[in-house]
Amino acid sequence: MERLRSSPLHANISTALDKHLESIHVVQARRKDEIVNPSNRQRHGPPRCQDERVVLALAVALRALCQATRKARTVLWCAFQMTLPK
């Protein structure tokens, strides 16, 4: 889009996209932690405290990813509108 405009886009656009990519990496890491978690999920009884922490961390990361995705979509739409010829 910067090439189409012949000028750089606003700094907030690249910041939002960087934050979105960072959020994706955090969710991937939390998901990996959940999969690698050494607890045996076949046991019966109340969930272990460690399991709850891992799942809660994943939920927090997913929430941050959702917010970053909304912001990225908005800034991409703004960048697209600024790129269109008048």
pLDDT digit string (tens) for 56-81? 999 999 999 999 999 999 999 998 99
**Would 37 be classed as within a structural domain?**
yes
Report how far residue 19's alpha carbon sits from residue 13's, in angstroms, rounded to the nearest whole number.
10
- Give the number of other Cβ atoms within 10 Å of residue 71's Cβ: 17
**Would 2 be classed as within a structural domain?**
no
Output the pLDDT for position 52.
84
Which residues form the domain of 67?
8-83
Q: Is residue 5 pLDDT above 60, yes or no?
A: yes
More confident residue, 5 or 12: 12
68 phi and psi angles, rounded to 5 deg? -65, -35
**Would 59 be classed as within a structural domain?**
yes
Number of domains in the chain: 1
Instruction: Give residue 4's pLDDT band: very low, low, confident or very high (50, 70, 90).
Output: low
Output the pLDDT for position 73.
97
**Would 3 be classed as within a structural domain?**
no
What type of residue is 4?
A: L
Residue 69 half-sphere exposure, CB side, CA atoms within 13 Å?
Answer: 9
Rounded to the nearest integer, the mean pLDDT of the chain is 85
Output the pLDDT for position 82.
85
**Would 25 be classed as within a structural domain?**
yes
How much is the average pLDDT of 25-48? 75
